[in-house]
Amino acid sequence: MTPGIEVPLASYQLIQNSQPIACYICGNDNTYSAEHCRCCYAPMALAHQARVTGIQPRTIALVGASAAGKTVYLGMLMDMLSRRMQPLHVLTRGAFSISMQQTTTTALSHGWFPDKTPNEPDRWNWVHCQISSNKKRRPLDLIVPDMAGEAILEEINHPNTFPVVRSMLSKCCGVILLIDAIRLQSGDQTQDFSTMKLLSFLGDLERDRSIGGRLWRTTNQIPIAIVFTKADECESCFNDPVAFAESHALGMLRQCRDRFPRHAIFACSVAGACGYRESLGDGRRRIPLRIEPRGIVEPLTWMVEQVSRR
Ligand SMILES: Nc1nc2c(ncn2[C@@H]2O[C@H](COP(=O)(O)OP(=O)(O)OP(=O)(O)O)[C@@H](O)[C@H]2O)c(=O)[nH]1
Ligand SMILES: [Mg+2]
Ligand SMILES: [Zn+2]
């Protein structure tokens, strides 16, 4: 004989979850309990946070070709800013925002660079933080995802393969564009080509009417910070980033000067020196011999200044 059991219907849950919630990045409706947006895979935690706090954070796109140094740069930037009080410091919002910093600093402290960012957008790390400066301005809420370089270029070459990239770039109110200085200096033109592709994609994008679009009525007004990464291995880049761009990335520089008057050029490095280590399974891997961050905070300081100006 089967004993009778009581099962509560809990129908209140159906009513609670019946209201859709719009994705903060692409604006498409999702079910209340969704973890990632069904269209662009951005974390729905961003939409929930915006709803609860009533704050509409601005988005900054961190872009660059694969292995340009985006993950290492963003992880180090967040780690540095979260451990100091002034002049610019951050307060991360949401536990998910700390994963980025944790992954990078854990890898670096164990003597490795972090792994390549997976192409699947639901596996990307997103940072939502509140940035305050000592200039008595209101704190600025920012969202910065760590996108995979391959996914960014794939979306540019084959539209709609990674819709989150398009949504992010049309919504953002500033772009930090990273370029590998070592590869540029060695004469590898792919860095210059992929940067030019990115800039022309950005210039031709229809601006989102929401935050980014309202802030910068035309795309040409959008601030772009060009950052040469891995400058520890080319000192000339540190000394004069503009002269370095003129001699190694003239195509990118011309496009920037013609289409994006609001730009600035920086150089940075996270490692002080690099070497190689044999690892079981992975073969020969490039490793940081010491961590000596230089020029990490300056691009963001400039960007915050630009974004707060309007
Ligand atoms: N010399 C030097 N090399 C660096 C530095 N930062 C990163 N690298 C090297 O660049 C590689 C790629 O760095 P990532 O931050 O993973 O690059 P990414 O742009 O996130 O690449 P994707 O995830 O594929 O888009 C690292 O594995 C290091 O070998 C640096 O400051 N100095
Ligand atoms: Mg990465
Ligand atoms: Zn979405």
- Per the CB < 8 A criterion, the answer to whether 35 and 46 are in contact is no
Contacts of 151 (CB under 8 A, 6+ apart): 119, 121, 161, 162, 165
Structure confidence at residue 217 (pLDDT): 52
pLDDT at 214 (0 to 100): 47
Question: What stretches of the chain show up as alpha helix (H) in DSSP?
Answer: 12-16, 45-53, 70-82, 98-109, 149-157, 163-171, 181-185, 190-204, 211-215, 235-239, 241-248, 250-259, 297-309
257 lines ligand 1 (CB under 6 A): no
Ligand nearest to the CA of 26: 3
How many Cβ atoms sit within 10 Å of the Cβ of residue 160? 8
What would the two tokens of residue 287 be?
């490793």
Residue 174: CA atoms inside 13 Å, Cβ hemisphere, count? 26
Task: Check pocket membership of 180 for ligand 1, CB cut-off 6 A.
Answer: no
CA of 152 to the centre of ligand 3 (A): 16
With the most atoms of ligand 1 within 8 angstroms of its CB, the residue from 73, 116, 147, 227 to mutate is 116
For residues 246 and 303, the answer to whether their CB atoms sit within 8 Å is: no
Which residues lie across from 288 on neighbouring strands? 274
- Read off the tokens for 239: 């000394």
Bridge partners, residue 180, by sequence: 229
Nearest CA to 306 out of 223, 226, 219, 199 is that of 223
Instruction: Report pLDDT for 211.
Output: 45
What is the model's pLDDT at position 212? 47
Atom of ligand 1 lying closest to residue 268 CA = 31
Distance, CA of 280 to CA of 106 (rounded, Å) = 19
Q: CA-to-CA distance for 30 and 218, rounded, in angstroms? A: 30
Query: CB neighbours (10 Å) of residue 211?
Result: 16
Output the residue whose Cα is nearest ligand 1's atom 12: 67
66, 116 Cβ separation under 8 angstroms: yes
Any ligand 1 atom below 6 A from CB of 64: yes
**Below-70 pLDDT ranges, the chain:** 1, 13-17, 135-136, 206-220, 310
Is the CB of residue 200 less than 8 Å from the CB of residue 85? no
- Kindly give the number of the ligand 1 atom that is closest to the alpha carbon of 273: 1
Ligand 1 touching residue 113 (CB < 6 A): yes
The owner of tokens 């890898």 is 107
Q: How far is the CA of 173 from the centre of ligand 3 (A)?
A: 17
Amino acid at 263: H
